[in-house]
Amino acid sequence: MPPPSVSGPGPLVEVGDPSDPRLADYRDLNDPARRRTVEAASSIFVVEGKLAVERLLQSTYVVRSLLVDDHQVSAGAGLVAAVRSRGAPVFVGARPVVEATVGFALHRGVVAVADRPEPVDADAVLTGARVARGGGGAPVVAVLEGLNDHENLGALFRNAAAFGVSGVLLDPTCADPLYRRSVRVSMGHVLQVPFARLAPWPSGLERVRAAGFVVAALAPHPPVGGDVPAVTLAGLCDRRTSDGAGVAVLLGAEGPGLSDAALAAADVAVPIPMADGVDSLNVATAAAIAFHALANT
């Protein structure tokens, strides 16, 4: 049902020209530099694909408008009606018009624009993680350093949602989780997992520890020397069960991995055993292994 502030359904607007000023929010979605400028200026983000738009409508984010091709206006009638029920306009164009507007063959002919929210404080995510778990056990959050690949970021959020991770914290250098490609790869789950930036870095990890979380760095090899002990993933799960501590899974980007400073700021380092000759995993895959193990303890 429409929220109380909506006086009537949003309009269904036929468009026939990619240069129509009403489509400005959707233009050139495949131009990252331009999109950063447009989205920052208008405080918006883009959600592509039916499933992702459905999750947008299930979230707390506010949909601003929807663009569909003329096939989807009937095939996706429920989605169109749901957006209009919120008082937002739905733009409908022939498939060539829609593709010329966004700059590529649009996946399933559906894309939405939503209001970008104000940034959330990292402490609020940590507090919310504990509240969300309630009596259901110690919470798990992910903490990310240097993840600038939008697809890896989206896949990690999808894994986080699948295994009940209560929140994601990102260092100042991580990519934008609300970038179109991240939202699409996450299947819209980035819209349902709370996230925030954690700064300063890496000293901000002390805030995570102070909130009752063990900072567990996933590292292919245990650190040599220093004060960060190596534990197995099973040992980390046992610790979580025995003392009820939350776990913050600390992950670095593929290639460089975690910085020495971030690793030194962790409480424990957790290597994932692999076959001889293989020294690393995709970051989203490594995260999924850890999230699954923790979810089942």
pLDDT tens-digit readout, 237-268: 888 777 778 999 999 998 888 999 999 999 99
Q: The pTM is what?
A: 0.92
Give alpha helix (H) positions in 4-71.
32-42, 50-58
Name every residue whose Cβ is closer than 8 Å to that of residue 191 and which is 6 or more positions away in sequence: 47, 52, 55, 56, 59, 61, 183
For 90-132, write each residue's pLDDT tens digit.
999 999 999 999 999 886 789 999 999 999 999 999 999 988 7
pLDDT, residue 242, reads 72
pLDDT, residue 98, reads 96
By the 8 A CB rule, do 111 and 48 touch? yes
- What is the Cα–Cα distance from 135 to 133, expressed in whole angstroms? 6
Name every residue whose Cβ is closer than 8 Å to that of residue 73 and which is 6 or more positions away in sequence: 12, 80, 90, 92
- What is the Cα–Cα distance from 49 to 91, expressed in whole angstroms? 15
Q: Where are the domains of the chain?
A: 12-115, 122-295
3-state helix, strand, coil split of the chain in percent (to 5) is 40, 20, 40
> How far from the centroid of its chain's Cα atoms is residue 30's Cα?
19
Q: What angle do CA 249, 282, 31 make, to 5 degrees?
A: 105
pLDDT, residue 2, reads 40
Under CATH, what is the fold of the domain 122-295? Answer: Alpha/beta knot (3.40.1280)
- What is the Cα–Cα distance from 187 to 193, expressed in whole angstroms? 12
Backbone φ and ψ for 104, nearest 5 degrees, come out as -165, 170
Q: Measuring CA to CA, which residue among 228, 209, 206 is closest to residue 217?
A: 228
Q: Class assignment of domain 12-115?
A: alpha beta
